[in-house]
Chain A
């Protein structure tokens, strides 16, 4: 199978910060808002280089979303930054009315998504945010897999008109997306072609899917691996084309199985080509404290869990 090289592990949030730094230089309409988490969101450079375009809101996320909506009136392109939990669930109605329903060009950028923020525990580990955001009409939902892809997605969002949710994380993870790969919103990336099963992964689970595919190859199973960075709008064509060939699918995401990527894929299959599907996702529970590795092991969100799900789904064909 195709080999992917880790060019040096980094956190996806640093990819966001690098993207903001570049946007700050390239696009004078880009403004950034933060709710007392400059360091965590890697806003330091943007703030230093463009203090007049950086808005420290304080610990007041609802106000931050509203101010961002207002800044669009006058042509600004606001990028808000805080943890995923405080970017979504805490401010759902503000996003719903002032951003989504009002069709404001606000980019809601969320770090520390999922379990992998680790020790802080369930108060900070949101596993429902993809569902919350994808249910909003007109909202674009993106979950990037590594540093380079997060940087590219951040830059691409400035050129995209409309509300968007960009989800990334805290841990240092392998960086394997080519630095020059353009980010096309809504376009899946074929990482490995295969014939026996389609593995559709998003975010931190993409690298795990690649490892799983290697392990499966050793077992004589040919796995196709697709990186779905955009959960909405979903690249239905890529999914259907692959599943027509392989006849079964495993979805993998750092999110509750309710409301996540897996359910979006299920809908596409149910409407067009129903096939067996297994879900590598959190089984409708909250997270807890622990190291990222321990949590991904306990909640079965690693390459071993993907291998097991593939073996199970192939038997259901």
Chain B
């Protein structure tokens, strides 16, 4: 659909940012970042009802929590390009005295970030707490969260998943980045989690799937559908099927680029595969 062309352009630029950021410091996590580029783009450029500026309490607006903090490059790029801080600051990623720490944090006061994440498995609980604060404040806005699939191996998630349905946290849309990969290999080989849809449903969540998790139109359609399922007594889970490394052919369908930066030649190839014909420019 042509009316989402600007979102396509936006995500192409975000992919360029991700590659350049991790290349510049020869560290960071491009694989999961690239895989979630379209999701973040839809979230911040289309879906969420956001207020200008940044206020930690976020009253009267939708909030997002990133639990799998290692995909900070995509988070930072989208935050910057959504107006939370200067785009030029992306050049400080992972460098000394930067607000753009290796993993996201509130500690350096980076606008747009409401919790530290990196140590996995904690974001679901925090998102639930923020959702309950919204209910106490009679604030009808939604809480969105993103979690890695491998991250679900952390037990705290299942405490939170059990709690969310028992307490009817129905203003939360928790998305699982289902890319099937983790550091040591495919999730099915490292620790097979079986049927995640059935597991969430067994915990009494309303579960839906977005099969084309790197397709902007599919994400919009799926997330709009997820929104209509809120407020009905159940937390909503979106299983977002993505391809790790999406948009850079040699990074796709492998865990090899989970936490590895491209060299100069690889960067050039990756950028060549992501020509930006839209209005955004490199930082």
Contacts and interface: CB of A to CB of B under 8 A. Distances in A.
B261 interface: no
Nearest to A62: B156
B129 A103 contact: no
Contact of B116 (A52, A65, A68, A98): A98
B133 interface: yes
A31 to B, nearest CB: 7
Interface string B97-141: 000000001110000001111110011111111111110110100
A70 B126 contact: yes
Given A67-B163, A73-B63, A74-B139, A101 B128 contact: no
B58 interface: yes
Chain B interface: which size bin?
35 or more
A31 B133 CA distance: 10
Contact of B107 (A52, A57, A76, A102): A102
A66 B122 contact: yes
Contact of A63 (B125, B131, B139): B125
A65 B130 contact: no
A93 B155 CA distance: 13
Nearest to B130: A70
B162 A70 contact: no
Contacts of B215: none
Nearest to B117: A97
A78 B126 CA distance: 12
B57 interface: yes
B160 A75 contact: no
B105 A94 contact: no
B47 interface: no
B119 A63 contact: no
A74 B137 contact: yes
Nearest to A31: B136
B190 interface: no
Contacts of B132: 55, 67, 70-71
B59 interface: yes
A102 B108 CA distance: 10
A62 B159 contact: yes
A68 B137 CA distance: 15
B198 interface: no
A73 B129 contact: yes
Given A58-B163, A60-B159, A73-B130, A97 B125 contact: no
A97 B121 CA distance: 11
Contacts of A93: 119, 122
B56 interface: yes
Contacts of B118: 97
B134 A74 contact: yes
A53 interface: yes
A41 interface: no
Contacts of A97: 116-119, 122
Nearest to B166: A58
- Nearest 4 Cβ contacts at the A-B interface: A70-B129, A66-B125, A74-B133, A63-B159
Interface of A: 31, 52-53, 55, 57-58, 60, 62-76, 78, 93-94, 96-98, 101-104
Given A58-B162, A74-B133, A97-B119, 19 more contacts: A60-B159, A60-B160, A60-B162, A62-B122, A66-B123, A66-B126, A67-B160, A67-B163, A69-B125, A69-B129, A72-B129, A73-B57, A73-B63, A73-B114, A73-B129, A75-B133, A78-B129, A93-B122, A101-B105
